[in-house]
Structure 1
């Protein structure tokens, strides 16, 4: 049975129709995922269902007495309020009713108050709040203003859940949550007994939680039973069929246009029907709202960096002293090469951004050595969008003081460049504050990719981006010639982009030490499999460490069992090998400098005409340096692993 339904719903802002005769029914116990392009109207639709906005036309129906709770993308609280009081706002009516009952000794309204209190279970609202705080792992004594974005999102969820709603409406619930918190939220929502409707661009989250996907596309709501992976498969088939139907309609229209231009014969009475059909085809073609364009992403990878981007050897970093000392990085070693796509995984507050600054030389280590590569040009994507001036226009944000943007050595007008990121020309002079969250992220990406850079640092770039843009960004980063450092909680995005993962392993409950980081090959799923395997081995080892009955003493000179081998000891470096290891970084740097000079010489072009023999020799030497560099790097890593 439908608990909420929309019929022939119309909603528009200006000339843009967000809902164009749309219909929707949310069934009892259903978990519905709402997807669509940024600016399509998803948040507006959720607010309509929550009763916060009104339709221009159409009908919204709800079952009698339905309790609906809405959690926005960015929940707002009084920063001075305690977490307990903020959550208790979810039972404000119950609190007020019980207070009124307790304050009124007698009167004709007592019976009515008592009945309403019973209906809302207001006698025990404090216990409900405490239970919800415990379930969501929240400290009721803390001030809301002290909380991180992820914890504030938990408070908003607690405020909604404490009211025991029949329908829960969530707008981007995974924003600001780390991977562990997302897994916790998935479990919470799967256990929720009411109906759920949520907006999310996290494809793995949609797959885990949702039982139906609804797409808002050009004012129309389309329903797809099943999870997001099922939607992707069905949608691809539908788009192919739609493209074929559009092509046939366009071909017929073209044929009719040719016919009507042949002359007066078309105006004879016997041709009236055909003329009317042409008019109808023209009307249908004009009314047909074609699929929105896709973001065209390009990035200038600038001058190639050196082969080594960063080398960290036994690096540690801590802040404070004594009891206040906090270790962020402990004894971490890694070699990061040009072209690596590195993902950083860890809970909020673990120090991912701090580790990035350490790798890129913005922070000095407390101990250990960090060697940065040569010719690094770094561009940053700011998670909190602090780089955006909200009063600046879109055009000035992309190219201050100029109408042109240079990408890969080619000039492009700023209007055309903004169009590549789905910003219409008429919006180029609009201030940044008029953009939605997803549009601001898209503008930040446009600004980032306009900078020549051979190292991209992307801190939560996927927040608020629609799924189509996410997939295009994945393709861009996969083909990007430079180095990428990616901090993200989008599991599928990590799997599709990164070649290695640096994961935080500083949780004592998992056998870790504070500040411990470890590098893994592959993406999120590869890391998850390896972490699970390590946990199983740890637990098996703990079982072996338990006391056992004493075994009979073995003969003093008993030989090892057949087929067994003593554990091999790692051979230490000889004096000659240690000297070679110390000299290798300088040799690698010299080879890279020589190759850079050869590239500069060959890029001038004149040498091919003036001195062909020298040009040929320079090309041959450049290729030889490639081979020598590969050999030097392999030798350096082999010796370094034994140092």
Structure 2
């Protein structure tokens, strides 16, 4: 296997906070690695170091010579005045730099330098860069190439950045949370694209289905150390549990031995202390081992929800649109007590608008929500809570409540509550600006739950949360004694939490589906297959009907086909069948996500020629068929 990247004894810290220490990792051709760690453990920092955007304290990083690396940042940005296609030429990649160098060289009189650039332009396929960019953008459902970047949604911006990375066909693709802000259709397209290609990949994502289906290796940063698992996410879960059990057993043994040693140390006369120095030293080693914390810390969400009555809310004739974009039309719904609804749909179909109308942030054009008197919303917005950056973590919670009720007379102080969310005493007294993106999300979730809501409305709660926090949040929501509406593109999360879906199909069309996301996906595929079969059967029957009608209108006076024309008709039938089969194959390939950019370009160019040839031959076939009658 060809080595692409070697990381040796890499250490990174911020002040006295160590992210990782002396970690080593090798990445070879064909590796598809998922990087997992708790929030704040340094996942994004490590990717930024590899991309050359951050420094490190010590260690070595060695890339293979001439390795092309593509990096998708977690929060990409472009100058707002650019159009979509212009942004593709603003990317910091080898091909764009080469095009700029070539255009500059055209202004000089250096034929030797220009010839070298021409050769490099051929090698990097730079001549058709814009065409490839448009093809990839179209596959990612961005079709308005002249749209200003400032008008793009978060999901569209992420897809633009993703297109910019894929256009250059890098040898090593580094992705930081590629599924954040992507709708489910786009997530599944990217999953299929990466799964069917031989691209070498290092990525950070919390999407566990994505990890399980795409990756062949999982790397975890835990306690400043890197652990490697040669398998997908399911394999990682199994082997990680074994590692933790062994680790915890070692700590238990060390604690038992320490008790024995401590008793021995205390019983020894001071004068004999030097005679057993080796045993005293061993005692202190045991003490250090015994004081290690057992893996692994858990977020314990045991907050009591306040009482909720039988009436939750009724939606009556809700209508909402923005200009010509219809969001909801004449929507009626009665929400039941303890109901757990998931909302799914493509970006821009109105999911967030719907829940903002429910909580009163946006008013419907017509209709109303009739909310029960006992309902107490806990609304987790996709935009997040805008904290005072100079405030300490503990103060952000104390501003909402000094104590949190757990029910049965039990209470937690704000500090104790934060510890359940894995905020150590040291972190609690740190300033909010020092927190990672995931830690801020966890703090935001904490501020929502401490007010004891009985109806949680969560808009993309999984973005930026680590997998440990997600597991505990899922467990909490399954056992939550209240109502829940959640919008999420995380299919794994939805499968574990909700009991039915409200599907936003676009143009005001909504479908209430009884089941989780996987149930809906299977049903949808079955319906699509059924529709295709019905369409094919209808076309077959129409063809038979047309043929019968032609036979019934036969005319004795019409001429017969010559021998040459009969042979031509037979040849046309074979050629048309071959062209239709080739067309079907190309269309399937174009939608599969398996083609390289070069193959995608060639087959896209071939398709119009096939259609034109089919039209000509079909027209001639019809002429001869009418004569033969």
1:54 aligns with 2:55: yes
Q: Deviations over 1:491-511 (max 9, x none)?
A: 1111111111111234xxxxx
- What are structure 1's unaligned runs of at least 5 residues? 507-513, 551-643
Distance in 2 (alpha carbons) for counterparts of 1:183 and 1:401: 40
Residue matched to 1:562: none
Judge conservation of contact 1:332–1:516 (CA < 8 Å) in 2.
no
Among candidates 209, 225, 245, match of residue 230 of structure 2:
225
Distance in 2 (alpha carbons) for counterparts of 1:55 and 1:26: 19
Residue matched to 1:302: 306
Matches within 5 A, 1:249-288: 249-264=254-269, 267=272, 271-285=276-290, 288=292
Cα distance, 1:133–1:539 mapped onto 2, change above 3 Å = closer
Residue matched to 1:501: 501
1:424 Cα deviation from its structure 2 partner: 2.5
Q: Deviations over 1:378-404 (max 9, x none)?
A: 110011114434343323322328644
Cα distance, 1:348–1:108 mapped onto 2, change above 3 Å = closer
1:527 Cα deviation from its structure 2 partner: 1.6
1:116 Cα deviation from its structure 2 partner: 4.3
1:128 Cα deviation from its structure 2 partner: 3.7
Query: Which range moved further: 61-70 or 410-419?
Result: 410-419
1:210 Cα deviation from its structure 2 partner: 0.9
Matches within 5 A, 1:132-281: 132-138=136-142, 139-264=144-269, 267=272, 271-281=276-286
Cα distance, 1:461–1:186 mapped onto 2, change above 3 Å = same
Matches within 5 A, 1:310-349: 310-312=313-315, 315-319=317-321, 324-349=323-348
TM-score by length of 1: 0.78
Cα distance, 1:362–1:3 mapped onto 2, change above 3 Å = closer
Q: Deviations over 1:421-480 (max 9, x none)?
A: 122333334443322110111011110011121111011111111001001001111111
Matches within 5 A, 1:327-476: 327-359=326-358, 370-400=369-399, 403-408=402-407, 410-476=410-476
Cα distance, 1:275–1:396 mapped onto 2, change above 3 Å = closer
1:4 Cα deviation from its structure 2 partner: 0.5
Distance in 2 (alpha carbons) for counterparts of 1:10 and 1:343: 42
TM-score by length of 2: 0.80
Residue matched to 2:572: none
Cα distance, 1:379–1:135 mapped onto 2, change above 3 Å = closer
Query: Which range moved further: 132-141 or 36-45?
Result: 132-141
* Length, aligned pairs only: 539
Distance in 1 (alpha carbons) for counterparts of 2:325 and 2:261: 76
Cα distance, 1:14–1:533 mapped onto 2, change above 3 Å = same
- What are structure 2's unaligned runs of at least 5 residues? 546-629
Cα distance, 1:142–1:334 mapped onto 2, change above 3 Å = same
Q: Deviations over 1:55-96 (max 9, x none)?
A: 311111111111112111100210111111211233331122
3-state SS of 1:267 partner: helix
Among candidates 491, 494, 514, match of residue 521 of structure 1:
514
Matches within 5 A, 1:38-49: 38-49=39-50
1:532 Cα deviation from its structure 2 partner: 2.4
Residue matched to 1:126: 130
Distance in 2 (alpha carbons) for counterparts of 1:131 and 1:61: 34
3-state SS of 2:36 partner: strand
Measured on the aligned residues, the alpha-carbon RMSD in Å equals 2.7
Q: Deviations over 1:122-141 (max 9, x none)?
A: 44433443343344333321
Judge conservation of contact 2:346–2:505 (CA < 8 Å) in 1.
no
Cα distance, 1:230–1:157 mapped onto 2, change above 3 Å = same
Distance in 1 (alpha carbons) for counterparts of 2:219 and 2:72: 19
1:532 aligns with 2:517: no
Distance in 1 (alpha carbons) for counterparts of 2:361 and 2:274: 81
